[in-house]
Amino acid sequence: MSRAILHRAAAVLAILVTTALMAGCERPEIHRDRFIAFGTIVELNIYTADRELARTAAEAVRADLDYMHGAWHAWEPGPMGRTNQLLATGMEFSANPSVLPLIIEAKRLSEATEGLFNPALGELFALWGFQSDDPQGPPPDEAEIQAILEQQPAMDDVWIDGIRMRSHNTAVRLDLGAYAKGYGLHQAMEHLKDLGVENAILNAGGDLRAIGRPGNRPWRIGVRAPDGQGVLAAIDTKGDEAIFTSGDYERYFMHEGERYHHILDPRTGHPARGTRSVTVIHDHAAEADVASTALFIAGTDDWPRIAARLGIEKVMLIDDAGVVHMTPAMEKRVRFETKPKDRIITPLPDGQDAASVAPPA
């Protein structure tokens, strides 16, 4: 073999070795994906050097959330819709395994929130038009609202024994909209972890679960101002946690100059008043989802007690006067971008940020 050929072969080998080394030393970067699920824009950011892992993981999350949305939607054909049909008969039936775990947890969380989270009031949500992503109004007649409330549909009316289920109140219609998204984000992130993803953030319309961090800095999220415009505060995530916000600016309609938002108080049948938004940080996305809604309804007087029952240590509630109410634990995590009107720091009852209701296993 000639010396020239040997030189060329050596040069090719050097290029191949260099390419292989470079391929094995790709720098981590944020891989982004965006799609629609649960009626909102979902953004997935994965920090990794493994492009194939990021692609596979994104496809898995899309499939997971698409399936969950279809299975858990109360107003479209599917397992939850069929469950509601069977509950309305008052007869015992075998529960669909795709919805049974959600309903069991919804019963527990409804009790923990003293009924402020009441997904059995699906007929009331539909009466207001809030089963739609684009409610138009006008508000329903008071007589129609009271007709539903008088039947007192509640999660206690749902009897479950193993896989057997029935409703003792045929007025029960389940709508898990204040819970399903959080449950779905939690399950989807668990799937990402099983695939080997260590650093990611999954954000569905401002509600999110994050794990790890993108390099040497944390994932940073913004909390919208109470009027829905701009950013009120920033929060850096720590490890594996969920951050959820419920606000009166999310889904609403205007009628004769008044805003009617989708967070209904099950005690009155009307949109809850006195609160503009609630943000919570917790280690379980489904519980964070429920808590943000229940604490919004609880309002300035009762939110500390309900938060303690749920074991939610980090809460920020903004009332309709623009005053910020926070737990001491939340105060340590929030950095305000816009100065609030006033701040009130409120410890949970007995000065203890502790749970009185056991979380799911």
23 known member of a binding site: no
Percent of the chain beyond pLDDT 70? 90
228 & 341 share domain:
yes
Same domain, 223 and 163: no
Question: Which pLDDT value is given to residue 287?
Answer: 96
Residue 237 assigned to a binding site: no
Q: Which among 134, 167, 200 is the end of a domain? A: 167
- Span of 21-35, 118-132, 240-254 with lowest mean pLDDT: 21-35
Residue 139's domain is classified under what CATH number?
1.10.3980.10
Same domain, 110 and 225: no
- Claim to verify: residue 146 and residue 257 sit in the same structural domain: no
Task: Say yes or no to pLDDT of 352 above 60.
Answer: no
pLDDT value at 3 more than 70: no
pLDDT value of residue 229: 80
Least confident of 15-29, 33-47, 188-202: 15-29
**129 in the same domain as 241:** no
Does 245 lie in the same domain as 163?
Answer: no
Q: In this model, does residue 176 exceed pLDDT 70? A: yes
Task: Name the pLDDT band for 208 (thresholds 50, 70, 90).
Answer: very high
Q: Is residue 141 part of a domain?
A: yes
In this structure, is residue 360 part of a structural domain?
no
97 lies in some domain: yes
Q: Which domain holds residue 345?
A: 218-351
Any known ligand binding at 293? yes
Q: Is residue 142 included in any domain, yes or no?
A: yes
- The whole-angstrom separation of Cα 75 and Cα 73 is 6
- For residues 162 and 222, membership in a common domain is answered with no
- pLDDT at position 14 is 41
Residue 128 lies in a domain: yes
Same domain membership, residue 339 and residue 235: yes
Residue 30 domain-assigned?
no
Whether 44 is in a domain gets the answer no
Same domain, 140 and 242: no
323-326 and 342-345: which strand pairing? Answer: parallel
pLDDT exceeds cutoff 70 at 86: yes
Q: How far apart are CA 266 and CA 285, in angstroms?
A: 23
**Does residue 269 lie within any of the structural domains?**
yes
pLDDT tens per residue across span 255-285: 999 999 999 999 999 999 999 999 999 999 9
Q: What is the pLDDT of residue 227?
A: 79
What total of structural domains would you count in the chain? 2
Question: Quick one: average pLDDT of 284-297?
Answer: 96
Residues 224 and 162 in one domain: no
Which of 133, 151, 167 is where one domain is finished? 167
155-194 as b/e: b if 16+ CB within 10 A: bbbbeeeeeebbbebebbbbbbbbbbbbbbbbbbbeebee
pLDDT greater at residue 339 or residue 327? 327
For residue 339, give the CATH number of its domain. Answer: 3.10.520.10
Amino acid 333: pLDDT: 96
> Residue 87: what pLDDT?
96
Last residue of a domain, one of 108, 132, 167: 167
